[in-house]
RNA sequence: GCGGGCGUGGCGGAACUGGUAGACGCGCCAGACUCAAAAUCUGGUUCUGGAAACAGAGUGUCGGUUCGAUUCCGACCGCCCGCACCA
């Protein structure tokens, strides 16, 4: 059937998103469609949140994907009759604003707010269901004032502490560097060799909650397993022992008598061959006093930086200190103490005993420095007389060997035996060894020596010490005038800002010049959205009525830190009376990245996709530069990045193809948790579908002019179509609830295909039963499409003559009786290989199914007259004949 | 280094709790419409052999469990992400 023109000969006008999308956005805005009523109207509440963006100034395709997902969820739950909270704000403090200000001479605030304006406009053009009346930026004084209140409440609750920690220090720019700003051991801007420096810093005592944060992970069943596992590993609980090793008298530096180590494997104590301490361990400093060579080595270790990844991937090196320790179970056995660059100061005691046979790193170290490596744990089933460790360690459990009184025990028994014996030995008035539970998790250092962040509301007074800023004096505002051109901390060298009177004694005092980590800002914004303009951090009864967030969506890169900090913050806010729950996010979803092909020209320089022309010849793709016509090499598909120029600007897409096509495309094909590759063909395909649906439903409308009957069952074609319609309504809803957007979209394609065919049937024989089925299908398709393509759906809804918005319409009611099938198609296998299929009544008796299967020509031929060895019948599923 | 993930046609992917591998989309091929093209519509499309019926192979590699494995187990290979001051 021809479907491109109307019966009266007029072409159906193409759908024009450039015209219709702004129109519907205006209608939603005017009708305040997505603004939540102030009063609780009794509807079930649902809180959808996407991680708020950093206002870089331009929307990224990753944002488009993230917010499209959230919006589908939000629109779906609205259609389910719920009151949906779907807010948006800006994670607006942070380094890029300062960097931009330094580069251009402007002010971080101006740069940030201008970016927010630009990005809000871009976001609004996506047609999201956001309630903009709740918008805020974390750099708004109204927001950070509340954050300072929270800081002080945490302070009074004993959740804040001040202690020393190490930072990367740039001696030229006089600034602390982030790990990503340290490139090959040098500062990114100055190029100076980076030093490790100790600073006194503010910390939140997240370790107080280590055990609770760990055990509560079990309750987070709306989170991806991989995120839960990553959090568990990050907290890193281990059961081990603290063991104190006595220094030999002749080697001990003055005033020192012992070395305390933490180990999770006390059972391997007889396999110890050396002790390793971190470069800044006190014993290392003492040993280096008269040892310039060791001093130089310690210096070298200090220059590596603070990044764990760097520390652990670099060449493992050590140097003997000349100090020796005595083995606890053999006074004649002494072991050398090394300074080693792979021992982390901040974990355990900053010292370990090396057991080369049980740890690959220790073994590599022992082989390098020619130290002993005796096997002490043997896997079950090996022979003790021949088992040895050569260049591969064995870290598993097993049977103890070469271990004196532990020989023959299991690792677990040996652990207990050592714990018991060392617990019974007293040195310096304390047991030599005690059991200790350790966590890898460290306290959260929140101090930043930067201007563009939330000031820590503390005053330092020579008389009174640390004085919290009184609540009446909050917020501690950032000074408007700032000189970022000088090296160092701009707040610290501001001429007046830090000089204040002590609120306690009135004498001259100094403000804290540290500002807070931007992770603090993002650790409670989800709670603030529930009462964004309140004069307290939260309005507890309102916050408690909305929280936890029902569905949180964001990048997997935040799977550990941001989520863990938010979980801590929620507990701390519970303790200080701002909330009455512990877990902020009931449902969590981590989306994949958006990737794109990379291109390089004949000079090996990166080329942006917009400058590349691609042609297909004989199935192969060739690329040339649009301007120069020179050849381009098509490279691998990678995460969009500035350096590789393979990013796509969503604004171009939104302007050319429209928001609906962009939303549809980023959600089709790839499962949302996986990476999606942006392709020109993909967005064009989405665009075609927009046009196809518009055309199809316009034609359908013409077919619907006439009488409709409710007696759809009278007509075979109508009934078949109705079944598909109801099946789609049901499964699209289920797929959205499970966040399987790609599968929902596949279902919608199938319904569209079915409707094309059925429209032809209606055109040929337009009886009233068919018209009724088509009318129902048209409504269902439009509503089911509306979470994905809201503008198009509104346009169709209006074209159909509906009197309200599709955004205010309810999800179709599924007629379950239409979903029950009377017969099933069952594949028949012979020896696990499909040889045919049979159609049988649903829930038919196994014996009749078996008989039916065996009578198939194909099966009979394979049997060759013999009886089958076995026939497996899985009801309604499969038959397998074993020959 | 440690931790986490991923691997299925030409491409993106689907396959619920171990039960028809390749839904749906893109691309490609053929046909219809057209003077022609675009757009649109219809049909086909895992690979090999065959006109077809059909047969064989097939979910990164090797091995195991099972009547039956993309799915479970073991070993390996490749790619990607996080590692505490980027957000």
Q: What interface predicted TM-score (ipTM) does this complex get?
A: 0.93
C1’ B20 / CA A228, Å: 36
Smallest CA–C1' separation from A94, nucleotide: B87
Q: How far is CA A578 from CA A521, A541, A868, in A?
A: 16, 9, 71
Closest nucleotide relative to residue A880's CA, C1' based: B67
Task: Count helices and strands (H / E) in chain A.
Answer: 25, 37
For the CA of A359 and the C1' of B61, the distance in angstroms is: 29
- Give the distance, in angstroms, between residue A10 CA and nucleotide B36 C1': 23
Task: Provide the CA A860 to C1' B43 distance, Å, integer.
Answer: 34
- Can you tell me which residue has the tokens 């807070």? A516
H, E, C per residue of A206-257: HHHHHHHHHHHHHHCCCCCHHHHHHHHHHHCEEEEEEEEEEECCCCCCCCCC
A619 CA, B30 C1': Å apart: 17
The CA distance from A225 to A459, in Å, is 44
Contact A547, A581 (CB under 8 A): yes
Q: Nearest-CA residue to the C1' of B81?
A: A557
Which nucleotide C1' is nearest A827 CA? B20
Measuring from the CA of residue A92 to each C1', which nucleotide is nearest? B87
Q: Which nucleotide is nearest to A835 (CA to C1')?
A: B20
Q: What pLDDT is attached to residue A643? A: 66
Strands (E), A20-159: 45-50, 83-85
Q: CA–C1' distance A238–B25 (Å)?
A: 48
| A4: enclosing H helix or E strand | none
A468-516 residue pLDDT tens: 999 999 999 999 989 988 888 899 999 999 999 999 999 999 999 999 9
Phi, psi of A631 (to 5 degrees): -65, 145
Alpha-carbon span A275 to A322, nearest angstrom: 11
Could you tell me the distance in Å between the CA of residue A669 and the C1' of nucleotide B8? 15
Long-range contact pairs involving A289-298 (C-beta distance under 8 Å, separation at least 24): A289/A253, A291/A321, A291/A322, A293/A319, A294/A319, A294/A321, A294/A339, A297/A339, A298/A339
3-state class of A612 per DSSP? strand
Q: Are A89 and A139 in contact (CB under 8 A)?
A: no
| Residues A443 and A450: beta-carbon distance below 8 Å | no
Report residue A224 CA to chain centroid gap.
10
Residue of A692, A822, A700 whose CA lies nearest to A773: A700
Residue A161 to residue A52: CA distance in whole angstroms: 29
> Between β-strands A444-445 and A258-263, what pairing exists: parallel, antiparallel or unpaired?
unpaired
Q: Are strands A823-830 and A676-677 parallel, antiparallel or unpaired?
A: unpaired
CA A730 to chain centre: 29
Our measurement of CA A619 to C1' B28, in angstroms, reads 8
A32 vs A444: CA distance, rounded Å: 41
**CA-to-C1' span, A758 to B27 (A):** 27
Q: What is the dihedral of CA A415, A417, A420, A425, to 10 degrees?
A: -110
Q: Could you give the C-alpha distances from A659 to A20, A71, A436, A654, in angstroms and in order?
A: 11, 12, 57, 5
How many residues appear in chain A?
Answer: 883
Q: Distance in angstroms, CA of A831 to C1' of B44? A: 31
Which amino acid residue lies closest to nucleotide B12, measuring CA to C1'? A669
Whole-angstrom Cα distance, residue A675 to residue A817? Answer: 39
Tokens 């302007």 correspond to A655
In this prediction, residue A1 carries a pLDDT of 26
C-alpha span between A735 and A747 (Å, rounded): 9
Ranges under pLDDT 50 in chain A: 1-10
Through-space distance between the first and last CA atoms of chain A, rounded to whole angstroms: 50
Helix (H, G, I), strand (E, B) or coil at A467: strand
Comparing every residue's Cα with the C1' atom of nucleotide B33, the nearest one is A2
The nucleotide whose C1' lies nearest the CA of A592 is B81
Q: Report the distance from CA of residue A73 to the C1' of nucleotide B18 in Å, as an integer.
A: 32
Nearest nucleotide by C1' position to the A441 CA atom: B84
How far apart (Å, rounded) are the C-alpha atoms in residues A393 and A273?
Answer: 14
Could you tell me whether strands A551-555 and A588-591 are parallel, antiparallel, or unpaired per DSSP bridges? parallel
Phi (first) and psi of residue A366, to 5 degrees: -65, -40
Full 3-state SS string of A563-611? HHHHHHHHHHHHHCCCCCCCCCECCEEEECCEEEEEEEECCCCEECHHH
User: What are the residues facing A46 on neighbouring strands?
Assistant: A84
Query: Which residue is nearest nucleotide B15, judged by alpha carbon to C1' distance?
Result: A743
Q: Closest Cα to residue A506, out of A475, A471, A462, A473?
A: A462
Using only the alpha carbons of chain A, give its radius of gyration. 34
Please report which residue ranges of A480-524 form alpha helices under DSSP H: 518-521
- pLDDT for A2 equals 29
| Burial class for A511, CB neighbours closer than 10 Å (0-12, 13-18, 19+) | buried
Name the nt closest to A177 by C-alpha to C1'.
Answer: B85
Closest nucleotide to A692, Cα to C1': B40
A401: nearest Cα among A393, A413, A409, A391 = A409
Distance between the alpha carbon (CA) of A662 and the C1' atom of B29, Å: 29
Residue A621: its pLDDT value, please?
A: 63
Burial A833-860 (b: 16+ CB within 10 A, else e): eebebbebeeebeeeebbebbbebeebe
The angle formed by the CA atoms of residues A308, A313 and A317, to the nearest 5 degrees, is: 100
Taking the C1' atom of every nucleotide in all shown strands and the CA of A685, the nearest one is B26
How many angstroms is C1' of B66 away from CA of A869?
A: 16
CA atoms of A94 and A108, how far apart (whole Å): 9
Express each pLDDT in A132-163 by its tens digit.
999 999 999 999 999 999 999 999 999 999 99
Is A282 in contact with A414 (CB distance < 8 Å)?
no
Please tell me which residue lies nearest to nucleotide B6, judged from CA to C1'. A674
- Cα separation values, A590 from A271, A556, A709, A744, Å: 44, 5, 47, 18
- Which is nearest to A787 in space by CA: A131, A73, A132, A32? A73
Protein-proximal nucleotides of chain B (any atom < 7 Å from a CB): 1-6, 12-16, 19-21, 23-28, 39-42, 54-56, 67-69, 80-87
Whole-structure pTM value: 0.91
β-pair type (A160-170, A195-204): antiparallel
Q: State the nucleotide closest to A747 in CA–C1' terms.
A: B24
Q: How far is the CA of A446 from the C1' of B87 (A)?
A: 15
Per the structure, the residue whose CA is closest to nucleotide B39 at C1' is: A4
Which residue's CA lies closest to nucleotide B69 at its C1' atom?
A: A832
């Amino acid at each position: 059937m021809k479907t491109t023109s109307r019966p009266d000969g007029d072409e159906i006008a193409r759908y024009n998103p450039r015209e219709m999308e702004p129109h519907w956005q205006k209608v939603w805005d005017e009708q305040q469609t997505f603004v939540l009523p102030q009063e609780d109207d009794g509807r079930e509440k649902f809180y959808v949140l996407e991680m708020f963006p950093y206002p870089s100034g331009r929307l990224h395709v990753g944002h488009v994907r993230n917010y499209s997902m959230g919006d589908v969820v939000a629109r779906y739950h609205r259609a389910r009759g719920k009151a949906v909270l779907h807010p948006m704000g800006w994670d607006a403090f942070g380094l890029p604003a300062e960097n931009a200000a330094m580069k251009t001479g402007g002010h971080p605030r101006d740069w940030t707010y201008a970016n927010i304006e630009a990005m809000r406009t871009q976001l609004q053009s996506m047609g999201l269901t956001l309630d903009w009346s709740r918008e805020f930026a974390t750099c708004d004084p109204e927001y950070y004032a509340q954050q300072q209140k929270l800081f002080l409440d945490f302070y009074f609750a004993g959740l804040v502490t001040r202690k020393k920690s190490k930072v990367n220090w740039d001696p030229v720019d006089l600034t602390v560097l982030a790990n990503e700003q340290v490139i090959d051991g040098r500062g990114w801007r100055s190029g100076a060799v980076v030093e490790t420096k100790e600073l006194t810093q503010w910390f939140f005592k997240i370790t107080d909650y280590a055990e609770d944060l760990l055990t509560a992970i079990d309750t987070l069943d709306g989170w991806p397993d991989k995120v839960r596992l990553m959090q568990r590993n990050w907290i890193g609980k281990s059961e081990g022992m603290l063991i104190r090793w006595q220094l030999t008298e002749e080697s001990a530096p003055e005033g020192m008598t012992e070395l305390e180590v933490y180990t999770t494997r006390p059972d391997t104590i007889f396999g110890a061959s050396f002790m390793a301490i971190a470069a800044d361990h006190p014993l290392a400093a003492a040993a280096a006093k008269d040892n310039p060579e060791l001093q130089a080595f310690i210096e070298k270790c200090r220059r590596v930086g603070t990044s764990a990844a760097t520390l652990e991937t670099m060449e493992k090196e050590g140097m003997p200190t000349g100090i020796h320790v005595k083995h606890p179970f053999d006074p004649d056995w002494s072991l050398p103490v090394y300074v080693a660059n792979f021992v982390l100061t901040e974990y355990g005691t900053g010292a370990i005993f090396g057991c080369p046979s049980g740890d690959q790193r220790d073994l590599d170290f022992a082989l390098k420095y020619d130290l002993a490596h005796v096997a002490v744990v043997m896997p079950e089933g090996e022979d003790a007389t021949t088992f040895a460790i050569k260049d591969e360690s064995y870290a598993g459990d097993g049977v103890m060997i070469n271990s004196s009184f532990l020989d023959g025990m299991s690792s677990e028994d040996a652990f207990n035996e050592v714990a018991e014996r060392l617990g019974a030995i007293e040195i310096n008035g304390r047991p030599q060894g005690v059991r200790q539970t350790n966590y890898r998790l460290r306290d959260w250092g929140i101090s930043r020596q930067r201007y563009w962040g939330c000031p820590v509301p503390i005053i330092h007074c020579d008389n009174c010490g640390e004085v919290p800023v009184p609540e009446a004096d909050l917020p501690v505002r950032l000074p408007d005038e700032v000189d970022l051109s000088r090296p160092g901390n701009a707040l610290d060298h501001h001429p007046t800002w830090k000089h204040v009177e002590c609120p306690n004694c009135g004498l001259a005092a100094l403000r804290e010049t540290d500002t807070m980590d931007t992770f603090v800002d993002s650790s409670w914004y989800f709670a603030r959205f529930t009462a964004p303009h309140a004069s307290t951090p939260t309005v507890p009864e309102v916050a408690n009525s909305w929280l936890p967030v029902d569905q949180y969506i964001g990048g997997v890169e935040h799977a550990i830190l941001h989520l863990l900090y938010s979980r801590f913050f929620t507990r701390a806010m519970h303790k200080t009376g701002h909330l009455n729950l512990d877990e902020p996010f009931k449902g969590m979803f981590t989306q994949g990245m958006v990737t794109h092909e990379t291109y390089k020209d004949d000079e090996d320089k990166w080329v942006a996709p917009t400058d590349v022309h691609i042609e297909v010849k004989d199935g192969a793709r060739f690329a040339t530069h649009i301007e120069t016509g020179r050849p381009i090499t098509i490279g691998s598909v990678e995460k969009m990045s500035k350096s590789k120029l393979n990013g796509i600007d969503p604004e171009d897409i939104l302007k050319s193809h429209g928001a609906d096509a962009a939303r549809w495309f980023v959600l089709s094909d790839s499962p949302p948790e996986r990476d999606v590759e942006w392709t020109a063909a993909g967005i064009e395909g989405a665009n075609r579908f927009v046009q196809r649906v518009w055309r199809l439903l316009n034609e359908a409308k013409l077919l619907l002019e006439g009488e409709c009957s409710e007696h759809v069952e009278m007509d075979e074609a109508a009934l078949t179509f109705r079944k598909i319609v109801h099946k789609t309504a049901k499964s699209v809803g289920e797929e959205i609830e499970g966040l399987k957007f790609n599968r929902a979209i596949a279902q919608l394609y199938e319904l569209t295909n079915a409707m094309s065919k059925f429209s032809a049937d209606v055109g040929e024989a337009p009886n009233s039963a068919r018209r009724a089925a088509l009318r129902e299908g048209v409504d269902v398709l439009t509503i089911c499409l509306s979470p994905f393509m809201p503008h198009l759906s509104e346009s169709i809804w209006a074209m159909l003559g509906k009197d309200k918005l599709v955004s205010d319409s309810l999800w179709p009611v599924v007629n379950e009786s239409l979903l029950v099938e009377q017969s099933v198609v069952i594949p028949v296998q012979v020896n696990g290989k499909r040889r045919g299929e049979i159609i049988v009544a649903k829930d038919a008796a196994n014996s009749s199914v078996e008989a039916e299967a065996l009578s198939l020509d194909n099966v009979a031929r394979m049997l060759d007259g013999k009886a089958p060895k076995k026939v497996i019948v899985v009801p309604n599923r499969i038959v397998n004949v074993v020959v």
